[in-house]
Amino acid sequence: MTKKLSIIVPVYNVEKYIRPCIESIFLQGLEEKDFEVIIVNDGTKDHSMEVIQDIICLHQNITIINQENQGLSVARNNGIAAAKGEYVLMTDSDDLLIENSLKPLLDKAMETKVDMVIADFLTMDDREIDYYLKCPPRLKKEEFIEKTGKQIIMEDLVAHECYVWRTLYKKDFIISNNLKFYPGITYQDRPFTHACYLRAERCLKTSTFLYIYRKGHSAATSFSLNKKKAFDYCISISETWKLLNIEVQSPILKNKIKNTVFKYCLYLIRRTIDEIEPNKNRIEIIDYLNQVTPQLSFENGLRQRFFSFMIKNMPHTFIKLYYLHVNFFEKKILPSLKHNIRKIKLKRLTLFL
C-alpha cells in the first residue's frame, strides 16, 4: 500500500546514537498509517539493532532490511528501491529530526507534488543537543519559495553542504531519472545532489529547520583522511564533473559547477597535504585524480588556470611545492611574521602611551 513518506535510516555502528534518531522520527505529529521507516542494517558490528529492538516491536510501520556491509550508498539505494512512500527522506542514524518539523514540510510536498522540498538544518555537538532538547525554541513559521533545481545551484547551494538528509525527494522523480548513489564510496552526497538539482523542475526551498546534524563524535563520518577516502573523494569529484557534459548547456551554470568542483579539488589537495603520509601516497592520490577525471580543467582566473596547468603537467612537483608551502610558509614562517608584527605594533603603542 502506498504511503505518503518513507524514511530511510542506514545503520552501521551507531549504538550510542541510533535510539534518539529513531525516537525523533516518531515525534513528528504524523499518523503511522501515512509513513514507513525503513531501517537498513548495513552489517553493523555493534549492538545498534538491539538498542532499538523495543521500538521496532512497538511500531507496525518499521521495516528492516539486513545486508552485508556495503556502505552508505548501497544502503540508501536499497532503501529507496524498497520504499512505498510518495516521498523519501534519508536520515543519518547518528542525527535527529527536530520535533514536529516534518509534518508541515510533508503536507506542503503532498499539496504541491514538487520534485524536492529542501529545508534548513542545525549543526550541534552532543552537549548542545542535550540543551536544545531540554529547552527547544519555538519553530519558525514555514515559508516556501519555489525554484527550479538549477536556480538553487546558482543561488543557494553551498559547495560543502550537499546533504541529502535535509531534503524530501519525490520517489517517482528519483526513479524516472535513474538517480542513484555511487556505490562503495564516501562523499557520495555531492554528485547525487548535483544530479538531482540539474534535473528537478520544481523545488520548494524553506528556511524551516528540519534536522540536527550531530558533529564531533566518533560515530559520525570520520573527518580523518586516508588513501581510500581520498580515492573516494576523487571519484566524487569525477562523478560531479561528468554532469557538466551530460546535463549542463548554460555557460553560467557550467561555470558555477566548475567553481564548485574547483573548491572540492582544493579541499582534497589541502587535506592530502595535512593528513596523508608519506609523499608516495600523496602522489598516488593526485595521479588517481588525473586518472578518473582526465578532462579536469579550470579557467576562471589566474589561480584556477595555474592549478589546472600544474595538476595536468607537473602534478608531482605541484604536490611537493604545496607541501612546502603549507608546512614551512603557512605553519612556520607566517606565524613568526605575524608574531613579530604584533610585537612591533605593541612596542609602538607602548611608546605612544
Torsion from C-alpha of 217, 219, 225, 230, nearest 10 degrees: -140
Residues 271 and 159 in one domain: no
Residues 78 and 199 in one domain: yes
Domain with 105 in it: what CATH number? 3.90.550.10
Q: How confident is the model at residue 290, as a pLDDT? A: 96
Residues 140 and 66 in one domain: yes
Residues 314 and 182 in one domain: no
Point out the domain boundary residue: 158, 180, 214.
Answer: 214
How far apart (Å, rounded) are the C-alpha atoms in residues 146 and 150? 12
Residues 157 and 10 in one domain: yes
Residues 21 and 51 in one domain: yes
**Cell 611608546, residue located:** 351
Collect the ranges in the chain with pLDDT lower than 70.
Answer: 1, 138-140, 217-223, 338-340, 343-353
Residues 86 and 204 in one domain: yes
In a domain, 134, yes or no: yes
Point out the domain boundary residue: 214, 238, 260.
Answer: 214
Please report which helix (H) or strand (E) contains residue 312, including its range. helix 302-313
Mean pLDDT score of the chain, rounded to an integer? Answer: 92
Residues 234 and 305 in one domain: yes
Q: Residue 58, SS3? A: helix
Q: How confident is the model at residue 28, as a pLDDT? A: 96
Q: How confident is the model at residue 220, as a pLDDT? A: 44
Structural domain of 76: 3-214
In a domain, 308, yes or no: yes
Q: How far is CA 24 from the centre of its chain?
A: 20
Point out the domain boundary residue: 157, 184, 214.
Answer: 214
312 dihedral zone (left: phi>0; alpha: psi -120 to 50; beta): alpha
pTM: 0.91
Residues 31 and 92 in one domain: yes
For the chain, the domain total comes to: 2
Q: How confident is the model at residue 221, as a pLDDT? A: 47
In a domain, 287, yes or no: yes
**Cα–Cα nearest to 10, from 46, 47, 37, 36:** 37
In a domain, 301, yes or no: yes
Instruction: Round to the nearest angstrom and report the end-to-end CA distance of the chain.
Output: 80
Question: How does strand 116-124 pair with strand 144-147?
Answer: unpaired
Residues 318 and 251 in one domain: yes
Q: Are the beta carbons of 196 and 114 closer than 8 angstroms? A: no
In a domain, 219, yes or no: no
